[in-house]
Structure 1
Amino acid sequence: MESELKPLDSNSKPQLLEPTADDGSTKDDRPLLKPVSTPPSPPIVTPQTIQELEKKFGAYVRNDVYGTMGRGELPLKEKVLLGVALVTIVPIRLVLAVVILVFYYLICRVCTLFSVPNREEEQEDYAHMVGWRRAVIVQCGRFLSRAMLFVIGFYWIKETRRNLNVADKTTTENECKDQSEEPERPGAIISNHVSYLDILYHMSSSFPSFVAKRSVAKLPLVGLISKCLGCVYVQRESKSSDFKGVSGVVTERVREAHQNKFAPMMMLFPEGTTTNGDYLLPFKTGAFLSKAPVLPVILRYPYQRFSPAWDSITGVRHVIFLFCQFVNHIEVTRLPVYYPSQQEKDDPKLYANNIRRLMAREGNLIMSDIGLAEKRIYHAALNGNNSLPSVLHQKDD
């Protein structure tokens, strides 16, 4: 047990368990009728081990009733509520959600008939269409996204627009322009990332473009919708120069949105992965290379039983538990448009760090230094994966 937990210690190097025989089993000199291969046993995760992991990977820890990975022991009352919900509201919500998805897909299909998608740097989108087609896609998309949230249980969305005082403007260096000046259009919306529900909210609010895995473009129904959103596709695990190409496309799209009010806005999650909603991870600089002003938005999901955060729980389990919860909540804090200083324009890392500190302060979020690589280690340990060293070397985008 001790040797298996060593890879999780930041002061020690990852080591694999060494089998005592070539086939991975305990060496035995007794004759066998036929070879027997026994694979190494996966690490056993004990309650003590989980506590150690939670201290180190706090940004990905579930603190709701359902416990670690949504597999905790539930009280009898919670089991009864789940059972009732599974046979009542879950089927209704599932049917309505599918109907909304198919209906919007058909709208996108009709509006894109006989239209050639915009193609650039191996990207493909319909977000640059103009006229009534684009208007129908955007307005219907916003309305149906809000309808989808309503079906899931987000009946009310509390939105707050935060106005920073003079002291805040001084300490954060040119966050907002003087009110007498004409405000410029931000090039991108910057948001913390808590759940896939973030996308639905932003679609209902401003219908921006997102960065998504390239495989999303090939999904039934969702693929066409993502192209209408103008998603920028990236192959996350690719170790080629593809990332540079995508970074260039994102930068150009942010600049275009800043300069052209008819261009689709970019929505970026600079953390690169989801958290439990209480933390803010280090920001990637790709969202700030364009030197354009950005609009910071902070999302919170208050809960009593099940947390809507998609941190260390599988997608299927998350959807089922979410649909079983009758009421869900979103709290949105919109900060003023942040205009970078010349120093921040010259240093994207400084720009990103200043935005991160601002969002952490205004959203009462804890800044953490861990990232996607640590999240993979945490998930691997919880799943009893004995190949943690290989997880360490996966690319962190």
Structure 2
Amino acid sequence: MVMVSAMASELNSLTGANGIHEDTVSVSPERGAKLKDEQPLLKSDPPAASPTAESIEELERKYAPYVRRDAYGTMGRGEIPATEKVMLGIAAVTLVPIRLVLGMLILVIYYLICRICTLFSAPHEEDGQEDYAHMGGWRREVVVRCGRFCSRAMLFTFGFYWIKETHRSIGNEDGCRDQADESERPGAVVSNHISYVDILYHMSSSFPSFVAKRSVAKLPLVGLISKCLGCVYVQRESKSSDFKGVSGVVTERIQEAHENKLCPMMLLFPEGTTTNGDYLLPFKSGAFLAKVPVLPVILRYPFCRFSPSWDSISGVRHVFLLLCQFVNHIEVIWLPVYYPSEQEKEDPKLYANNVRKLMATEGNLTLSDIGLAEKRIYHAVLNGNSLPRALHQKDD
């Protein structure tokens, strides 16, 4: 269930499907997002002078993939008209409490289902990873079916009543060349990354596994659910190489999913962080090291007032404004399975770049050459932090 690991990991300074370092598998928003609006997104020196209007315009041109362009303005703190304030007030005392209660109820119900299905069943353990994704029979069937249903119920609760899905056929062009066996199963779902809602959608559609911070496994309710999802856990604090590493584990899981239809596919966000949905950042090659087919998926969030994209807005503010919207929208484009050529199999960076170009073309997305480091600088400047300090954080 997406919301499970997404909300808990991304809103509690956890990386629900967060990116791993360069040349490893990248999945989700920048690490360590702060919960409180009062806290800057980056720790830094005492605040400097606020950016001027001219500098803000320059920043928006330079860091366009992270710029919010909805009714709430930069970081969701812009001036809003009186009518919007009235609507927010009404939603805050009606929609938000109802949605929070329903969301928690769905979470608890799914946890109980997972608890029942895992009774007297030992988890699969390998290289320090523990999960129930390898569980078979009726138990796995119940976990998957109920997980997909609960994920869709959670989306409905948050106002995503309708989801427009398009399955696109490309033909024998760049994305489908040298296909020896088109019946081969993809080992991973490769998606652009806009919000923690992305994970919730993917759980409702294909129920894949993803990468999460190791702390998620110890959280109440969420911990067991993440194990049923088959999450691959990241120990960010540890620099040791006692095990084969997350990249190696994920690569093996992708290959396993490719060879065995009973194993869940991996969900990977190769950009390594979220954007405003109009751009596609460079792909890290970790998602393509397994040399197996991948399934590209493009997500869009059309909006009128509030953009569901998590680009330059705090977690708490984002969740609150999202829950205040009476209706939210998702548009999804499913591309055909991408079968790598022999040259792409030997060159993961080429494989990643070709998939990225295909997704940009089919999704009408603009290619950008900036990444998470630039996003941190942009956030630091917006928060009034000194640029030298932000530049220092770039290499953290």
Q: Place the TM-score, normalised by the shorter chain, in its bin.
A: 0.7 to 0.9
Distance, in Å, in 1 between the alignment partners of 2:281 and 2:243 is 20
**Amino acid paired to 2:65:** A
Which position in structure 1 is the counterpart of 2:77? 71
2:265 aligned with 1:262: no
Q: Tell me how many residue pairs correspond in the alignment.
A: 350
Partner SS state of residue 216, structure 1: helix
SS of corresponding position for 2:108: helix
Counterpart for residue 333 of structure 2: 333
One-letter identity of the residue aligned with 1:305: R
Distance, in Å, in 2 between the alignment partners of 1:61 and 1:40 is 24
2:118 match:
112
The residue that corresponds to 1:392 in the other structure is: 394
Please report how far the alpha carbon of residue 172 of structure 1 lies from its aligned counterpart in structure 2 after TM superposition: 4.3
- The residue aligned with 1:322 is 322
- Tell whether the 8 Å contact from 1:43 to 1:384 is kept in structure 2 after alignment: yes
Residues 67 and 244 of structure 1: CA distance in aligned 2, closer, same or farther (over 3 Å): farther
**Alpha carbons of 1:243 and 1:63: their partners in 2 closer, same or farther (altered >3 Å)?**
farther
Q: What whole-Å deviation, never above 9, does each CA across 1:335-370 have from its counterpart, x for those lacking one? A: 000110000001000000000000000000011111
Shift of 1:372: 0.9
What per-residue deviation string (whole Å, max 9, x for no partner) do you get for residues 131-153 of structure 1?
11111110000000000000100
* Separation of aligned partners in 2, 1:117 and 1:312: 38
| Contact 1:235–1:242, Cα closer than 8 Å, also in 2 | no
The secondary structure found in structure 1 opposite 2:245 is helix
Distance 1:118 1:282, change over 3 A: same
How much does 1:107 deviate?
1.1
RMSD between aligned residues: 1.7
Alpha-carbon deviation of 1:197?
Answer: 0.3
Structure 1 position 237, deviation (Å): 6.0
**Hey, what does 2:28 align to over in structure 1?**
none
How much does 1:239 deviate?
4.5
Farther off after superposition, 368-377 or 355-364: 368-377
- For normalisation by structure 1, the TM-score amounts to 0.85
Determine the C-alpha separation between the residues in 1 that align with 2:197 and 2:242.
Answer: 27
Task: Name the TM-score, length of structure 2 as normaliser.
Answer: 0.85
Partner of 1:350: 350
**Matches of 1:102 and 1:67, distance apart in 2:** 35
Question: Equivalent residue for 1:102?
Answer: 108
Determine if the alignment matches structure 1 residue 92 to structure 2 residue 98. yes
Q: Aligned equivalents of 1:172 and 1:298: distance in 2?
A: 15
Partner SS, residue 299 of structure 1: strand
1:246-272 CA-partner distances (Å, limit 9, x unpaired)? 000000000000001111111111111
Distance 2:203 2:47 in 1: 45
Is residue 133–residue 228 contact of structure 2 (8 Å, CA) maintained in 1?
yes
| Structure 1: distance between partners of 2:370 and 2:241 | 25
Match of 2:163 in 1: 157
Q: Are the counterparts in 1 of residues 195 and 309 from structure 2 also a CA contact under 8 Å?
A: yes
State the Cα deviation string for residues 107-151 of structure 1 (Å, max 9, x = none).
Answer: 111211222111112211111101111111100000000000001
Bigger drift between 45-54 and 101-110 goes to 45-54
In 2, Cα distance between equivalents of 1:173 and 1:163: 10
Letter of the structure 2 residue corresponding to residue 320 of structure 1: F
**Contact 2:175/2:339 (<8 A) preserved:** no
Alignment partner of 1:100: what SS?
helix
Shift of 1:241: 4.0
2:368 paired residue number = 368
Which runs of structure 1 show a deviation greater than 6 angstroms over 4 or more consecutive aligned residues?
Answer: none
CA 1:242/1:300 → structure 2, altered by over 3 Å: closer, same or farther? farther
Cα 1:389–1:183 shift into 2, 3 Å: same
Higher normalized contact order (CA 8 Å, seq sep 6+, divided by chain length): 2
**Deviation of 1:43 (Å):** 3.6
Question: Following the alignment from structure 2 to structure 1, what is the Cα–Cα distance between the partners of residues 381 and 241?
Answer: 31
CA drift at 1:235: 3.1
Q: Does the residue aligned with 2:70 lie in a helix, a strand or coil?
A: coil
- Secondary structure of 2:154's partner? helix
Kindly provide the amino acid, as one letter, of the partner of residue 114 in structure 1. F
Output one character per residue of 1:65-104: Cα deviation in whole Å (capped at 9) or x when no partner.
0111110110111111101111111111111011001111
Gap change, CA 1:81 and 1:145, over 3 Å in 2: same
Partner of 2:299: 299
The percent identity for this pair of structures is 73
Cα distance in 1, alignment partners of residues 220 and 356 from structure 2: 36
CA deviation after TM superposition for structure 1 residue 215, in Å = 2.2
CA displacement 1:186-223 (0-9 Å, x = unmatched): 11110001100011101000100001122222222222
Change (3 A) 1:182 1:53: closer
Q: 1:239 to 1:282 in 2, by over 3 A?
A: farther
Does the aligned pair in 1 maintain the 2:47–2:384 contact within 8 Å? no
CA distance in structure 2 between the aligned counterparts of 1:242 and 1:195, rounded to whole angstroms: 33
Of residues 139, 147, 156 in structure 2, which corresponds to 1:141? 147
Unpaired runs of 5+ residues, structure 1, are 1-38
